[in-house]
Amino acid sequence: MRIGLVWKDDFPWDPRVDKIARTLVRAGHEVHVLARNSRAAVSHEVIDGLPVHRLPALGNGYLNRASGTPVFFNPRWLAAIERLCREQRLDVLIARDMPLVLSCARAARRHGARLVFDMAENYPAMWRGVNVAGRRSIGSMILKNPAVADRLERRSLEASDLVFVVVEESRERLLGLGVPGARIELVSNTPDLAALAASAAAGATERGARARAGGGATLLYQGFVNRPRGLHTVIEGLPLLLERHPATHVVIAGAGDYVEALRELAVRLGVADHVELLGWVDHRQIPAMIRAADAGLVPHLYSDHTNTTVPNKIFDYMAEGRPVLVSHARPLARITRAERCGLVFESGDPRSFAAAATALLDDPNGAMEMGRRGLDAVRREYNWERDAARLTAAIATLAR
């Protein structure tokens, strides 16, 4: 089949878009990616054999970035999706997350294509979290309005022939909304075993870099940095952790609107020398950074959003044989406890985080066993090969 994969941000690079597209190509489908173009790149190119189409650039400034905002009524997106369907004679459109599902639905109807809603996030809950976190700009109130998102999500679900979810808790939520189970497929954010094998060859079972150098432990967070990610809980708990393990360092690899707030918090609490805020890091460097750490952090705040999604990072840590320290958000706690691959702390509670981290660092042999169990779980269950099989089987059901 000829398949269009519509992604609301720039490409490259998004790990999920890349894995879905290349998996479908290997299954014999012709795949075209349509992406935003805020960096004013070329409108068409082929990246490692994958055709990538972008919104035509309108210069290299604010107008180009603003006019590419991924909302369902944006005429630039509507025209680009329509053109992709017409020129490539698409059989299937996959909308990567909610903002452009209805834009794709319109084009799919006009061209007789089937529509797939790839629901990696619970947008209504995510926007409720944004508003609670205090971002109340005019743009936020319009484009990130939870009530509007609720209605858009329902319409998007009704328009879709198939919905991909990333975690079982999201499936349960959709069933509660009345989506038939036959239209829901679990395709999670898991690592590729081939990449895992290459990582193992590079030394995935090594201890953290600081520990090898005779220093303290390194706790790593990699990913987007905003308040709902709960990183303030880690920094607020760090003084307590340092009482027992005074050479511990927290490394935060990622960009976002909360970086400076975390930097100021670390200074205020007197732990700035123990917190490294690296900013954006190229995804190709992440596996080595995980291998150089002693544990991986997923401190996301407990919410309707974090209870219905799962971040790539927990599986990335597990795939490198690292124990995890996670908040009690439902999917994180369920996976960590079931696989005995780390410790769970109460979301938003610095003392609970410090106690869990202290317990982990007090028992290096136990931590190593947790890491091994996590790696075993990835090899057995939480890997892209299993998700790819579900993905290709689900897409095959859409053939006319």
Question: pLDDT of the chain along its 400 residues, tens only?
Answer: 999 999 999 999 899 999 999 999 999 999 999 999 999 999 999 999 999 999 999 998 999 999 999 999 999 999 999 999 999 999 999 999 999 999 999 999 999 999 999 999 999 999 887 655 555 555 566 678 889 999 999 999 999 999 999 999 999 999 999 999 999 999 999 999 887 776 666 554 444 444 434 469 999 999 999 999 999 999 999 999 999 999 999 999 999 999 999 999 999 999 999 999 999 999 889 999 999 999 999 999 999 999 999 999 999 999 999 999 999 999 999 999 999 999 999 999 999 999 999 999 999 999 999 999 999 999 999 999 999 999 999 999 999 6
What are 134's two structure tokens?
Answer: 């205090």
Strand residue runs (E) in the chain: 2-10, 30-36, 44-47, 50-54, 92-96, 114-119, 162-165, 184-186, 218-222, 249-253, 275-279, 295-298, 324-327, 342-345
Strand residue runs (E) in 106-190: 114-119, 162-165, 184-186
In angstroms, rounded to a whole number, what is the distance separating the alpha carbons of residues 328 and 303? 10
- Structure confidence at residue 140 (pLDDT): 61
Q: Which residues of 54-79 are buried (b: 16+ CB within 10 A; e: fewer)?
A: bbebbeeeeebbebbebebebebbbe
- Structure confidence at residue 169 (pLDDT): 98
- Structure confidence at residue 209 (pLDDT): 41
SS3 content of the chain, % helix, strand, coil (to 5): 50, 20, 30
In angstroms, rounded to a whole number, what is the distance separating the alpha carbons of residues 218 and 215? 9
Strand order in the sheet with 295-298: 275-279, 249-253, 218-222, 295-298, 324-327, 342-345
- Structure confidence at residue 213 (pLDDT): 46
Are residues 172 and 376 in contact, defined by beta-carbon separation less than 8 angstroms?
no
- Structure confidence at residue 55 (pLDDT): 98
In angstroms, rounded to a whole number, what is the distance separating the alpha carbons of residues 108 and 76? 16
- Structure confidence at residue 130 (pLDDT): 66
Residues 6+ away with beta carbon under 8 Å from 114: 91, 92, 93, 108, 161, 162, 398, 400
Strand order in the sheet with 2-10: 44-47, 50-54, 30-36, 2-10, 92-96, 114-119, 162-165, 184-186
Distance of CA 220 to the CA centre of its chain: 16
Distance of CA 152 to the CA centre of its chain: 21
Parts of the chain belonging to CATH 3.40.50.2000: 2-190+384-396, 194-380
In angstroms, rounded to a whole number, what is the distance separating the alpha carbons of residues 28 and 38? 31
In angstroms, rounded to a whole number, what is the distance separating the alpha carbons of residues 230 and 218? 18
Are residues 53 and 78 in contact, defined by beta-carbon separation less than 8 angstroms?
no
CATH of 2-190+384-396, one of 1.10.3720.10, 3.40.50.300, 1.10.357.10, 3.40.50.2000: 3.40.50.2000
Q: How many other CB atoms are there within 10 angstroms of residue 20's CB atom?
A: 27
- Structure confidence at residue 195 (pLDDT): 75
> What kind of architecture, by CATH, is found in domain 194-380?
3-Layer(aba) Sandwich (3.40)
